[in-house]
Structure 1
Amino acid sequence: MTESSVPEGYSPHFRKSRFTDPWEPLFSKTLAREVSIGLVLSEAHCNSRGLVHGGLIASLADNAMGLSCVAALQEDGRGAPGGLVTITLNTDYLGSARVGQWLATDTHFVKAGGSICFADCLVRADGVPVARASATFKVLQAG
């Protein structure tokens, strides 16, 4: 898969980070309460066995769930938080992903309390589930 075959609705990711710089180019698609992040997998994303590293999959899910929580909080009229901090991140690996596949998150905002947010995520490689994740985030106050 090449950049020209990135699925419809995705555009260059709006958020840059030193942590995710090595994964570039990243793409994202934003809906009302969901941010999906995707990328075309390359050798740089692989472990010594030639499979995409589980740490990349977990980190991608963590990023997408956090951004989805921010989107949901803003849609609910709570404004932009000062940030989110991951309290728990659970990841179950269901399969493997390989070089050349399109890896993307399918996130679901679950609930927000006064200072805690919950989200779920399914990570797919070319549409096939390779991991599911859930996370709890601490919502930091702005300012």
Structure 2
Amino acid sequence: MPPLVAPDDDSAPAGFTPRVLRGPFFGGRTVFTGNAGHTDHFTFRITGDDCNRLGITHGGVIATLADIFIVGFIAAQLPSDTRMVTASLSVDYLGPSTAGDWLVGRIHAHRIGRRQCVASGEFRVGDRTIALIKASCAILSDA
């Protein structure tokens, strides 16, 4: 099993600034956003707690991060009072990551609409793509 890494290690890669996550899954953990606050570029340090008994990042962690990153990216492009839910999420796992790895996510919007938004992207570790991610969100009406 790889060694544990401090969950809030603030030694982010150059060009990234820290942001503390909220919520029940990663509340208190630090994610880092890319240069100039780009909402489409994130990095997250994998810890031993994120890994399964094989020592690789658990698929559920990757899926949860995909949901958090894609919804956050979409939300940043909408009015702040917009309510939405994830309608669909898919992850193609292409390779492993382990404790200590910096997981870098890049997200791209395909559609930002009045009722539906769709975005996709990838997670990379170094020069390796470890997952392709895609999600759609449904905009909730006030009615």
TM-score normalised by the chain length of structure 1: 0.81
1:89 — aligned with what? 89
**Distance of aligned partners of 1:52 and 1:120 in 2 relative to their CA distance in 1, 3 Å threshold:** same
* More helix as a share of residues: 1
Q: Secondary structure at the match of 2:63?
A: helix
1:9 — aligned with what? 15
Q: Secondary structure at the match of 1:26?
A: strand
1:103 — aligned with what? 103
**Distance of aligned partners of 1:13 and 1:114 in 2 relative to their CA distance in 1, 3 Å threshold:** same
TM-score normalised by the chain length of structure 2: 0.81
Q: Secondary structure at the match of 2:14?
A: coil
Asked if residue 57 in structure 1 is aligned to residue 62 in structure 2, the reply is yes
Measure how far apart 1:9 and its partner are.
Answer: 2.8
Measure how far apart 1:125 and its partner are.
Answer: 1.5
1:126 — aligned with what? 126
**Distance of aligned partners of 1:129 and 1:26 in 2 relative to their CA distance in 1, 3 Å threshold:** same
Is the contact made by 1:65 and 1:119 (CA closer than 8 Å) also made in structure 2? yes
Gaps of 5+ in 1: 74-78
Match of 1:27 among 26, 32, 53: 32
Question: After superposition, what is the alpha-carbon deviation per residue over 1:4-42, rounded to whole angstroms, capped at 9, x for unaligned?
Answer: 2x12232222542222127x23222332xx333322211
Q: Secondary structure at the match of 2:103?
A: strand
